[in-house]
Structure 1
Amino acid sequence: MMPDGWGQGRALFGGLTAAIAWQVAEHGVSNEQHLRSMTISFVGPVQPGPAQLQRRILRQGKSVTQIAVEIVQQQETVLAALFSYGKDRPSAVRITDTPAAKVPAESDEQTAQRFPQSKLMPEFTQFFDYQVSVGGLPFSGTDSREFGGKMRFKSETAAISIGSLLGLVDAWPPALLPLLQQPSPASSLTWTIEFPEPLPTDCLASDWWLYHAFIDYAADGYGHTHAHIWDKHGRLVAISRQTVTVFG
């Protein structure tokens, strides 16, 4: 049953539906195989109410397992996801000097912008706190290709999980929206998120997490963006890539 209260335009919040698909995929995977990458295709708007969750193991090996999950409503696939799990193995290649966060430090919180309390804000944003310190607010007409700041759950105090991190990352509007001068619809077409390491065990969903997105290319109603996400200690925890549709 898909829940109420998490609306995002005509559909449920994509971070929530992705987290539900992850919970289905996670069942039965070896503890030695960590989630390395997941790709979500938002085929149609997921609605509150009954849904079928379909899970299929595409391949299960000693090192890598690939699992497909679909959410089906009214006999139609509305979300399709591919999850890739992988076990650590010896390698001569090791490059771990990850990009440093460009989000301003704690001392700059006073200058960060908050999303306005407005009926234009999607329903799900009530569950999150945001501080925008890179680029501009949505529909502010900025010319910056960068967008980001900090995000956290308002009341969720549990340790961070893949599911809650998916919610935090997707809670950010598409990086194209600050370039627009007036409200216009936009949505994610595909979303790939990669996890360089298992998530830290010393961080909570209510901690501040750093987010920095960059527009790689945008034209003809579509945008291609990538983002980095760091924990409160400055460790890179995820790399997010999106194809976005925008109608303005």
Structure 2
Amino acid sequence: MMSIEHLIRQLETQSTISIPAGWGQGRATFGGLLGSLMLSRLHAVLGDLTNDRVLRSATISFIGAVAPGDVEIKTEIFRSGKSVTQASATLLQDGAVMALLLANFGSSRVSAIDIPATISSPQGKSPEEAMKFAYIPGVMPEFIQQVDLRWAQGALPFSGAKQADFSGWMRWKDTFPVMSVTHLLGLIDSWPPSVLPVLKGPGNASTLSWNIEFLSHDFNKSSEHWWQYQVTTDFAHSGYAHAVAHIWDDEKNLVAISRQVTTVFA
């Protein structure tokens, strides 16, 4: 099975790629992988601009179900000012738009405002103590084989729980020396939708739109380091769920805020 590292590196030098089998999420390709692929291509096109302009926020829309096979990623730079660049990456398969990423890159600047994070990392089980999310063929998405998830707090999916929220630890199973924003973007999306623990039996849910904000970029981490994840459901009604997740590194630094609208078919 081709790893995340191998796939995103391909897009540093080309705009087309063949998505291999083993990255499925139901009938579609894992959305986190698509996000990482689009971001990788966008970084390559921006080139030297990304030396000081880092990804501040991105919005991703999943439009169609991407199947294994060839895809093309087209990019467009809308505006590049003194400190901010706004651009997009569009993923196409068989000529149809299947996913879209809108990204904002910005350089650091001197500011009189400095407000530390107001939310702290969960005080729960360590990665070694938490329950390993083992892959069960035919029950779990194929891409789960690529990630190491450890369930620390909250009920499991389809357990009929009263509370929808949970937390845990995550990392890629693949081994590589430098953990970048591109790697972390896909990893964050590997968790199940926040409302699945409330369901009493198997049911389908998929991400409609995803907004992610990065607060930190100089991780100084490899693929072996753990990242902590906690998700809270703000509202769910009429087949749509709205959730926010916070992500910390293994030193309790808040590094990202993820917001998703999920379509629930149950």
TM over 0.5: yes
Is 1:21–2:38 an aligned residue pair?
yes
Structure 1 residue 98: deviation in Å? 4.1
Structure 1 residue 103: deviation in Å? 4.6
Structure 1 residue 116: deviation in Å? 4.3
Contact 1:113 1:137 in 2 (8 A): no
- Aligned to 1:2, the other structure's residue is in SS state strand
Out of 170, 189, 205, the position equivalent to 2:208 is: 189
Residue in 2 aligned with 1:140?
Answer: 159
Structure 1 residue 206: deviation in Å? 2.2
Separation in 2 of the partners of 1:152 and 1:91? 33
Aligned pairs (5 A) from 1:172-183: 172-183=191-202
Is 1:88–2:105 an aligned residue pair?
no
Is 1:104–2:104 an aligned residue pair?
no
Aligned pairs (5 A) from 1:47-196: 47-106=67-126, 109-110=128-129, 112-118=130-136, 119-196=138-215
Structure 1 residue 134: deviation in Å? 1.8
Contact 1:218 1:224 in 2 (8 A): yes
**TM-score using structure 1 length:** 0.94
- Aligned to 2:182, the other structure's residue is in SS state helix
- Unmatched segments (≥5 aa) in structure 2: 1-16
Separation in 2 of the partners of 1:37 and 1:23? 15
What whole-Å deviation, never above 9, does each CA across 1:114-161 have from its counterpart, x for those lacking one? 334422110000111111122111111111132121111223242211
Percent identity, aligned pairs only?
42
Contact 1:115 1:137 in 2 (8 A): no
Contact 1:210 1:232 in 2 (8 A): yes
Residue in 1 aligned with 2:224?
Answer: 206
One-letter amino acid matched to 2:81: G
Separation in 1 of the partners of 2:216 and 2:132? 30
- Aligned to 1:50, the other structure's residue is in SS state strand
Q: Runs in 1 of length 4+ with deviation above 6 angstroms?
A: none
Distance 1:182 1:105, change over 3 A: closer
Separation in 2 of the partners of 1:24 and 1:155? 20
User: Alignment RMSD, CA only?
Assistant: 1.5
**TM-score using structure 2 length:** 0.88
Out of 10, 24, 27, the position equivalent to 1:7 is: 24
Structure 1 residue 91: deviation in Å? 1.9
One-letter amino acid matched to 1:20: L
Separation in 2 of the partners of 1:142 and 1:64? 44
One-letter amino acid matched to 1:22: L
Separation in 2 of the partners of 1:158 and 1:222? 38
Contact 1:193 1:241 in 2 (8 A): yes
Separation in 2 of the partners of 1:143 and 1:114? 22
Count of residues in correspondence between the two structures: 245
What whole-Å deviation, never above 9, does each CA across 1:26-52 have from its counterpart, x for those lacking one? 122341111100110001111211222
Separation in 2 of the partners of 1:177 and 1:231? 25
- Aligned to 2:34, the other structure's residue is in SS state helix
